[in-house]
């Protein structure tokens, strides 16, 4: 698992699946456009919603949960990275939310 910057995540959005692992109440403040929302606690049950052929960029509020999710996904045969600083860094950088 690599830790990538918000700029790298933004550049890779077209070729990777952004996976937002925050809780439902957290995504009410906005998500990265096109992201798939699967709360961390539901990941195992909803793993089939991800395509193992598409790289994953895991995102949470600050980067802690997403790092654990990226590790788990890599262990399950996916290619996954985590976005450093999470949505806090994304919004500070002025990047879009939906």
Active-site residues, by number, are 60
- H/E stretch holding 80: strand 80-83
For residue 85, CA distances in Å to 29, 52, 54, 56, 90 come to: 16, 25, 22, 16, 7
């Amino acid at each position: 698992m690599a830790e990538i910057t918000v700029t790298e995540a933004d550049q890779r959005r077209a070729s990777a699946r952004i996976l937002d692992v925050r809780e439902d109440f957290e995504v009410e403040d906005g998500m990265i456009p096109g992201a798939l929302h699967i709360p961390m606690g539901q990941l195992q049950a909803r793993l089939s919603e991800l395509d193992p052929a598409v790289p994953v960029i895991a995102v949470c509020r600050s980067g802690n949960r997403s790092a654990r999710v990226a590790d788990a996904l890599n262990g399950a045969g996916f290619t996954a990275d985590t976005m450093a600083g999470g949505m806090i860094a994304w919004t500070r950088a002025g990047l879009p939310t939906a």
